[in-house]
Structure formats: structure tokens, C-alpha cells
């Protein structure tokens, strides 16, 4: 998979973010630095309110940091002039368009890239089954469960085909079995295509199974508390969660999550 020479796709250096509130300034991110390289799957774990979604918004170019630098890099290794529109972003809320069917919501990213609707549907249709959506292609979002809506949004993000995918709790609303199916599917996609991702999750096993490295954020204001490399071999399979190496990594990560930052 990746090597230490892999080129960076996203680099954040010392990023801070403050929001103006009636009570004064709300300090959300306090000097966060992180790097995602070509072909890497990187995960962020942190308490609610630690600024994880804010961090993805900044990476996507929807928001700017108050201080610090953020850069996306193209395939040639040169920094891109702007971030907006350069990544595939699955926000925490599914943001499906209520008037478009499941299939036509899934194809939205392709259509925004000027792919015709007919062609976009042709590319999306074979994936409906894998995403647990066959039989629901012509349904409107209001007729889908929360988990289904999340899978439509995930399919839209995967189909958008950008080099970097930003995923904000993509499996959060899925039941355990569907979640395990999606992990198995995502691992096979990853190992086949070598895509790059930055994902937010609260699920420790999911983070370890899918990732090359895990960034742990402190409670608000978010700072990087620890970066845990995941030296499990590739290709990965869901069965690895039962191996002694995995169990040890999980114990390490849980230790960091359960110990107050001051005590470490």
C-alpha cells in the first residue's frame, strides 16, 4: 500500500478555528497539524464537540482556519490553488435532495462533473446491490430509513471519484451487520483502487480495521493528542479484529481515549 515516500494529498499545519458567539469567542480547534498521503486511509477520533466536522469543512475548503495553513496537493505533487470542489465530501448529515430519487441522489456528484444523467445512472446501478439499495433506486429520501439515506450519500461520495474522500461518520446510522458488510466492501475497494480518505468515526474497531493511522483529538478545543500508526498487514479483512495484534492496538487506543489528557 503506502510507503514512507508517498506524496501528501492534504496537509494541515497548526490550524486554529474560532467562532464568534454571544458569550465571546468559541475556540474549536487549537493548533491542529495532520497529513494524509496518497493511498492512505486516515481516521480522526475525538469527543463530541472537539471540532472533527469543522476540521473536515476546512479540508474541503468550505471554511477557512483563523490561523495556520491548509493545502491540498494534485497528482503531480504541486499544491492546488483552491480546495473547494477538489475533494469528495460526505458530510455528517446526509444532505440528500428530497425531490430526487435514491439513484438520482447517488449520481449527483457525477452530474455536477458534467457526466450525463444516463451515463451516471449506468455507473451507479451495478453498485446499488453492494450498498444495500437494490429495490429502492426509485424511492425518494423521505421513504428511506436513516441507514439507507446514509448509504446513498456514501455511494454518491464514492462515485464522485475524486482523489481524496472526506467521510464524516459515514457508517454512524448503520446497524452492526450492514456496517460490517460496508467495511468488507470498503476494504476490497481500497485495496483495488488505492484511493485516499480522511474519515471521522467514534468506532474504535472501525478506525483500526480501515486505517493506516489514527489521529486522536482532545476535548474542545481540539488538538492532536496522539497519532497511532496501525501496523496491521494489508490486505485487511474483517476477521482481523480477533487477532492478538488487533486486540493489543484496540487496548492502546482505548487507554488513550479513557485516560484524561492531563494524566498522560
Ligand X SMILES: Nc1ncnc2c1ncn2[C@@H]1O[C@H](COP(=O)(O)OP(=O)(O)OP(=O)(O)O)[C@@H](O)[C@H]1O
Residues binding ligand X (CB under 6 A): 19, 26, 28, 46, 48-54, 92
Give the nearest distance from C-beta 46 to ligand X in angstroms.
6
CB-nearest residue to Mg ion: 53
Contact 57, 106 (CB under 8 A): no
Cβ proximity to ligand X: between 13 and 92 the closer is: 92
Question: Would you say 28 or 159 has its CB closer to ligand X?
Answer: 28
13 binds, among Mg ion, ligand X, none (CB under 5 to 8 A by kind): none
What's the grid cell of residue 204?
474504535
- Minimum CB separation of residue 57 from ligand X in Å reads 8
* Residues 81-100, mask of contacts with Mg ion (x by CB under 5 A): -----------x--------
Q: Is 54 a residue that touches Mg ion (CB under 5 A)?
A: no
Mode of pairing for the β-strands spanning 67-72 and 8-21:
antiparallel
Which residue lies nearer to ligand X by CB, 62 or 112? 62
Among 16, 50, 53, 107, binds Mg ion (CB under 5 A): 53
Q: Which stretch binds Mg ion (CB under 5 A): 44-52, 76-84, 226-234, 246-254?
A: 44-52
- Please state the closest distance from residue 52 (CB atom) to ligand X, in A: 4
| Of residues 44 and 102, the one with the C-beta less far from ligand X | 44
Question: What whole-number distance in Å separates Cα of residue 104 and Cα of residue 111?
Answer: 9
Q: How far is the CB of 45 from ligand X (least distance, A)?
A: 10
Q: What contacts 188, CB < 8 A, 6 or more positions away? A: none
- CB of 202: closest distance to ligand X in angstroms? 7
Nearer to Mg ion, 48 or 142 (CB): 48
Sign, Cα dihedral of 147, 125, 102, 135: negative
- Which of 59/128 has CB closer to ligand X? 59
Query: In the bound complex, what is the minimum distance in angstroms from residue 122's beta carbon to ligand X?
Result: 35
The three three-digit cell numbers of residue 173, written as one number: 446510522
Question: For binding to Mg ion (CB under 5 A), which residues are involved?
Answer: 52-53, 92
Amino acid at each position: 500500500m503506502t510507503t514512507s515516500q508517498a506524496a501528501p494529498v492534504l496537509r494541515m499545519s497548526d490550524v486554529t478555528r474560532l467562532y464568534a458567539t454571544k458569550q465571546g469567542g468559541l475556540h474549536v480547534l487549537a493548533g491542529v497539524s495532520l497529513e494524509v498521503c496518497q493511498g492512505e486511509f486516515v481516521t480522526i477520533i475525538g469527543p463530541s464537540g472537539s471540532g472533527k466536522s469543522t476540521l473536515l469543512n476546512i479540508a474541503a475548503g468550505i471554511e477557512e482556519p483563523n490561523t495556520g495553513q491548509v493545502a491540498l496537493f494534485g497528482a503531480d505533487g504541486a499544491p492546488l490553488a483552491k480546495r473547494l470542489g477538489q475533494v469528495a465530501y460526505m458530510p455528517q448529515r446526509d444532505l440528500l435532495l428530497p425531490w430526487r430519487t435514491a439513484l438520482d441522489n447517488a449520481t449527483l456528484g457525477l452530474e455536477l462533473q458534467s457526466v450525463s444523467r444516463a451515463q451516471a445512472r449506468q455507473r451507479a446501478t451495478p453498485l446499488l446491490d453492494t450498498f444495500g439499495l437494490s429495490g429502492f433506486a426509485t424511492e425518494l429520501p423521505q421513504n428511506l430509513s436513516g441507514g439507507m439515506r446514509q448509504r446513498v450519500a456514501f455511494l454518491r461520495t464514492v462515485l464522485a471519484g475524486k482523489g481524496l474522500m472526506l467521510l464524516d461518520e459515514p457508517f454512524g446510522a448503520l446497524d452492526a451487520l450492514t456496517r460490517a458488510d460496508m467495511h468488507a466492501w470498503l476494504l476490497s475497494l481500497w485495496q483495488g483502487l488505492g484511493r485516499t480518505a480522511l474519515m471521522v468515526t467514534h468506532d474504535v474497531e472501525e478506525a483500526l480495521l480501515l486505517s493506516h493511522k489514527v489521529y486522536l483529538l482532545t476535548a474542545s478545543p481540539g488538538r492532536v493528542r496522539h497519532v497511532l500508526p496501525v501496523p496491521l498487514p494489508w490486505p485487511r479483512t474483517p476477521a482481523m479484529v480477533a487477532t492478538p495484534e488487533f486486540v493489543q492496538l484496540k487496548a492502546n487506543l482505548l487507554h488513550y481515549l479513557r485516560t484524561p489528557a492531563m494524566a498522560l
